């Protein structure tokens, strides 16, 4: 027997196992084998994501394409891929780079994203759910690439939006999440999602989930998605408005402030979720109301038409709503009416529940037992009469709503101020009257609620800002009865007195800053207002004392006091109670230019001013202190816009006053006019000095020229006498020369006449000789032609004689012929006779023609010579052209020969190659024969 020693098999490492499973997945042909390999890889995906991804990622994605029809396989693959994106935190291979690597593998090939989108059309729950989760993971890792792939995929967005109709909450929630992540910044995706009727689908989900009051996290997610689709997208907002979705918002908002029918208390967690849903709804509404955006006016009108403004107001004044919701609702109301004059005018007619516990008018209309007041009164009550620190955000929002009501509407500002003045002058004490609050000295409760006076100052600032009419109305409000011997003081003097008192008592900075903001905006470009303040010189001294005080805790107050003094000096005049000429030395000596600039510069660099837009103007409940809110937004803009001007104001000459045009009437002296007149005066003085210098120079030149003229006349007189005598002598000499020339001309003329006569005689002689010569030559030619003519005539006579003899012979012969041929011969003889006469006539014509030719011979001799010469020249030219053509033909022939040689070479080369190929073919045929 043999004893067998059994040994355990070698233990396989994790890496080797993953490699084996990856190889099995890529090489297996049976679906069950691939599924088993995937399940094995899934067990390692959480702990070893890098190893699994490096070995099997592409095989897993390929399996989705290959086995997409098998639901179980697709589920396992998608689970494995999700595990790779979300490994265990304590995994040794966990890294953020793995998610990037996985996302790159999907997004770098469009078909991979399209494959995941295809699974959304399957009814299987896990295929849809896991595909959406995987797309969310890929989008989180590579946002821009994923957005592009989904956008370009066939029906990609359409399939995603269609998932919103899925009744399974988990799938639908993942679809909402994916669409929310896809749409924040991509306008094209936003438009495409909205085009797929996403708005109605979102509202359907909200309604099915219980709307605002009973809905959970899904409602908030839907509203966030809605916000992404509408934010800064004018086309989507227009589509939302025109497809009847605004009434849905109004309906939801109406349900928010209505008490529950069953009266049951709401659990804290449910109330928190309800508040988040409501806050999201208000945020969506505000997206339609961006200041200056396209379509804002239409959105405001639509919200008014569908009572959305009314419902927002009811929510803001609801006693059951929480403070943050109320504040946001008031800010929404402000956005709805701001800049829309029609809505601003209609806004004051609305009524809301009284924000105070008890109403002054208990007999008025009520809502659920709560008295109702007009919205402006309710906003003033909220702003000025609610002293609870926790209600600061509501008060701030109510103040913003009042500012929106007054914004850019002069008529409403004037009406509001007149109502405030009437209420102040009446015997009825109104705690919510802005003017009364400002003209009343801060009470002891100012330390508890300094914002009452701060809010009053901000509202008054918005009433009078850059409005001369409201400034005059407010300045005309006075205190004191002159008839009873009381001192009459104006509203500006009263507010300035409260400012000085606040500085002396070291009241809360917010009260002081409120007065300073109001006075600076009021006195700017208001000469009468500046004079009112300067009526009491101690006010200026107290402001200077505040500026020069050595303290680091009053930076804001000191800087604003410096700027207020700068505004006062800038718009003061020589007729002011403290003239400009007195005010500037007072400021320079007691405050100093450097300190003035330093104090203002510190305010400009202070975070509350410099970073005003970045700091939230809200209460921080965790501190338990007053909020760090010191400035109004309009004042900050005013401060930054006019900082440089007021900073340089102290350096201006006291003699130069500023000019202000109010309601078309100019007040003060125009500084531009003074500068222009001074410049003109300087120019005229310079011109006058130049003219005087030029006049002196010209007078000197005139004396010099007069002396020169006198010397010139004397010299000219002497020269004239000398020239006159010289001229006379020249005249006599000239006459003698002319006479001599006449004599010489006569002699030369006689000689010339003799020469002419001699030349005429010689010419006549020569002409006569030439004429004789020509006659002799012509006579010789005529005689020669006559001799020729006689010789031709003699020859002709001989021929005629011979012909007559021949004729006689012929006649004799004819007689001898028979009688039948007599007539024919006779006719032939007649024809011959006529022919002879014709020939005789031809000879005579020839003689005549020769005589004419003889006459033309002399004339054509010269023409023939000229023609011969021209013919010779043409022959030479033609010869040269022929030589040139011959050269060209020789060159062409040479090229043709060269080309022929090249073709011969090519032919030889081609023939050689052809011979080689034939030899190869022959060898191949021989080999084939041998094989056979």
| Residue 405 domain-assigned (yes or no) | no
| Residue 604 domain-assigned (yes or no) | yes
| Residue 844 domain-assigned (yes or no) | no
| Residue 607 domain-assigned (yes or no) | yes
Count of domains forming the chain: 1
- State which residues form the domain around 420: 414-480+489-616+630-669
Question: Average pLDDT, stretch 187-212?
Answer: 94
Which tokens in the block code for residue 555?
């930076």
**What's 652's domain CATH number?**
1.25.10.10
| Residue 652 domain-assigned (yes or no) | yes
Question: Average pLDDT, stretch 407-428?
Answer: 91
Asked whether residue 753 carries a pLDDT value surpassing 90, the answer given is no
- pLDDT, tens digit, 9 for 90 and up, residues 518-567: 999 999 999 999 999 999 889 999 999 999 988 777 899 999 999 999 99
| Residue 124 domain-assigned (yes or no) | no
- pLDDT, tens digit, 9 for 90 and up, residues 783-812: 776 787 778 777 777 877 887 777 677 667
Mean of all residue pLDDT scores within the chain: 84
Averaging pLDDT over each range in 127-141, 817-831, 867-881, which range is the top one? 127-141
CA angle centred on 394, ends 390 and 398, rounded to 5° = 150
Gap between the Cα atoms of 222 and 203, Å rounded: 8
Averaging pLDDT over each range in 376-380, 742-746, 925-929, which range is the top one? 376-380
Task: List the one residue out of 232, 275, 233 whose CA is nearest residue 257.
Answer: 275
Q: List all residues 6 or more positions away from 618 whose beta carbon is below 8 Å from its beta carbon.
A: 392, 393, 396, 627, 629
Asked whether residue 593 carries a pLDDT value surpassing 70, the answer given is yes
| Greater model confidence, 159 or 444 | 159
Integer distance in angstroms from the first to the last C-alpha of the chain? 64
Gap between the Cα atoms of 5 and 8, Å rounded: 10
- pLDDT the model gives residue 438: 93
Q: Which value, to the nearest 10 degrees, does the dihedral of the CA atoms of residues 698, 701, 703, 707 take?
A: -160
Q: List all residues 6 or more positions away from 153 whose beta carbon is below 8 Å from its beta carbon.
A: 110, 113, 114, 117
Q: What is the DSSP letter of 263?
A: -
| Residue 563 domain-assigned (yes or no) | yes
| Most distant pair of Cα atoms in the chain: their distance | 192
- pLDDT, tens digit, 9 for 90 and up, residues 643-684: 999 999 999 888 888 766 555 555 555 555 666 777 788 888
Banded pLDDT at 33 (limits 50, 70, 90): confident
When mean pLDDT is compared across 60-64, 875-879, 891-895, the lowest value belongs to 875-879
Gap between the Cα atoms of 630 and 610, Å rounded: 13
Q: Which neighbouring-strand residues pair with 352?
A: 373
- pLDDT the model gives residue 132: 96
- pLDDT the model gives residue 89: 81
Q: Which value, to the nearest 10 degrees, does the dihedral of the CA atoms of residues 539, 545, 547, 552 take?
A: -130
| Residue 522 domain-assigned (yes or no) | yes
Task: List the one residue out of 116, 23, 126 whose CA is nearest residue 73.
Answer: 126
Residue 433 near residue 424, CB atoms below 8 Å: yes
When mean pLDDT is compared across 136-145, 428-437, 522-531, 559-568, the lowest value belongs to 428-437
β-bridge pairing 660-662 and 665-667:
antiparallel
| Greater model confidence, 349 or 5 | 349
Asked whether residue 444 carries a pLDDT value surpassing 60, the answer given is no
Gap between the Cα atoms of 660 and 788, Å rounded: 132
Q: DSSP string of 128-142?
A: HHHHHHHHHHHHHHS
Q: Which value, to the nearest 10 degrees, does the dihedral of the CA atoms of residues 685, 690, 694, 695 take?
A: 10
Which tokens in the block code for residue 473?
């109305």
Gap between the Cα atoms of 617 and 614, Å rounded: 9
């Amino acid at each position: 027997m043999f004893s067998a020693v059994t040994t355990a098999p070698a233990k396989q490492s994790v890496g080797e196992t993953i490699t084996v499973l990856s190889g099995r997945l890529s090489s297996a042909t049976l679906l069950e084998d691939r599924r088993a390999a995937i399940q094995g890889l899934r067990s390692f995906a959480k702990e070893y994501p890098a190893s699994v991804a490096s070995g099997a990622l592409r095989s897993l994605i390929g399996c989705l394409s290959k086995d997409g029809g098998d639901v179980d396989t697709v589920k396992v693959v998608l689970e494995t891929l999700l595990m790779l994106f979300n490994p265990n935190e304590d995994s040794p291979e966990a890294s953020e780079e793995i998610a990037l690597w996985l996302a790159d593998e999907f997004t770098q090939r469009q078909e991979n994203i399209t494959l995941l989108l295809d699974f959304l059309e399957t009814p299987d729950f896990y295929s849809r759910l896991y595909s959406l989760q995987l797309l969310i993971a890929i989008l989180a890792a590579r946002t821009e690439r994923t957005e592009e792939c989904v956008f370009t995929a066939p029906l990609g967005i359409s399939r995603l939006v269609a998932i919103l109709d899925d009744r399974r909450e988990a799938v639908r929630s993942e679809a909402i999440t994916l669409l929310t992540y896809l749409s924040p910044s991509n306008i094209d995706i936003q438009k495409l999602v909205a085009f797929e009727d996403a708005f109605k689908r979102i509202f359907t989900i909200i309604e099915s989930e219980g709307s605002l009051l009973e809905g959970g996290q899904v409602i908030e997610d839907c509203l966030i998605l809605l916000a992404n689709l509408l934010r800064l997208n004018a086309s989507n907002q227009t589509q939302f408005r025109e497809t009847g979705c605004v009434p849905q918002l109004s309906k939801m908002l109406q349900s928010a402030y209505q008490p529950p029918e069953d009266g049951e208390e709401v659990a804290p967690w449910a109330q928190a979720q309800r508040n988040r849903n409501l806050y999201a709804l208000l945020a969506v509404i505000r997206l339609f109301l961006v200041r200056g955006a396209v379509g804002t006016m239409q959105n405001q009108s639509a919200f008014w038409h569908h009572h959305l403004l009314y419902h927002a107001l009811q929510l803001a004044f609801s006693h059951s709503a929480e403070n943050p919701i109320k504040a946001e609702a008031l800010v929404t109301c402000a956005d709805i009416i701001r800049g829309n004059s029609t809505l601003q005018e209609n806004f004051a007619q609305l009524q809301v529940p009284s924000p105070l516990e008890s109403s002054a008018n208990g007999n008025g209309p009520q809502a659920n037992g709560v008295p109702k007041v007009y919205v402006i009164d309710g906003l003033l009550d909220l702003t000025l009469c609610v002293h609870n620190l926790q209600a600061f955000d509501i008060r701030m929002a109510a103040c913003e709503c009042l500012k929106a009501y007054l914004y850019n509407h002069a008529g409403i500002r004037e009406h509001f101020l007149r109502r405030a003045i009437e209420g102040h002058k009446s015997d009825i004490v109104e705690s919510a009257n802005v003017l009364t609050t400002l003209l009343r000295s801060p009470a002891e409760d100012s330390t508890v609620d300094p914002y009452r006076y701060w809010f009053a100052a901000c509202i008054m600032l918005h009433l009078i800002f850059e409005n001369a009419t409201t400034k005059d109305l407010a300045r005309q409000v006075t205190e004191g009865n002159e008839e009873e011997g009381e001192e009459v003081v104006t509203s500006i003097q009263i507010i300035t007195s409260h400012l000085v008192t606040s500085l002396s008592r070291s009241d809360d900075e917010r009260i002081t800053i409120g007065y300073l903001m109001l006075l600076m905006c009021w006195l700017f470009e208001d000469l009468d207002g500046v004079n009112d303040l300067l009526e009491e010189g101690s006010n200026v001294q107290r402001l200077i004392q505040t500026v020069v005080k050595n303290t680091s805790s009053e930076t804001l107050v000191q800087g604003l006091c410096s700027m207020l003094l700068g505004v006062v000096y800038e718009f003061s005049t020589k007729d002011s109670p403290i003239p400009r000429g007195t005010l500037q030395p007072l400021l320079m000596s007691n405050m100093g230019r450097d300190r003035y600039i330093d104090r203002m510069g510190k305010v400009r660099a202070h975070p509350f001013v410099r970073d005003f837009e970045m700091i939230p103007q809200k209460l921080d409940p965790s501190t338990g202190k007053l909020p760090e809110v010191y400035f109004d937004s309009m004042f900050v803009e005013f401060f930054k816009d006019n900082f440089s001007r007021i900073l340089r104001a102290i350096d201006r000459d006291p003699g130069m006053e500023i000019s202000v045009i109010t309601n078309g009437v100019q007040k003060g002296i125009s500084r531009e006019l003074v500068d222009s007149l001074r410049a003109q005066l300087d120019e005229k003085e310079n011109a006058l000095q130049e003219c005087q210098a030029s006049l002196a120079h010209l007078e000197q030149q005139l004396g010099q020229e007069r002396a020169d003229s006198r010397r010139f006349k004397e010299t000219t007189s002497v020269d004239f006498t000398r020239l006159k005598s010289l001229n006379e002598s020249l005249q006599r000499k000239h006459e003698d020369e002319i006479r001599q020339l006449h004599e010489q001309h006569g002699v030369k003329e006689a000689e010339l006449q003799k020469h002419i006569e001699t030349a005429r005689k010689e010419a006549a002689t020569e002409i006569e000789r030439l004429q004789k010569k020509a006659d002799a030559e012509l006579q010789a030619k005529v005689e020669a032609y006559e001799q020729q003519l006689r010789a031709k005539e003699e020859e002709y006579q001989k021929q005629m004689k011979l012909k007559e003899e021949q004729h006689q012979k012929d006649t004799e012969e004819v007689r001898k012929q028979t009688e039948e041929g007599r007539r024919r011969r006779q006719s032939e003889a007649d024809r011959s006779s006529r022919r002879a006469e014709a020939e005789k006539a031809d000879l005579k014509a020839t003689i005549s023609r020769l005589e004419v030719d003889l006459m033309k011979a002399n004339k054509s001799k010269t023409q023939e010579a000229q023609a011969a010469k021209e013919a010779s020249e043409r022959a030479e030219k033609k010869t040269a052209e022929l030589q040139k053509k011959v050269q060209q033909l020789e060159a062409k022939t040479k090229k043709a020969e060269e080309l022929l040689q090249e073709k011969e070479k090519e032919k030889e080369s081609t023939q050689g190659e052809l011979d080689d190929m034939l030899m190869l073919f022959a060898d191949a045929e021989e080999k084939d024969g041998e094989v056979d």
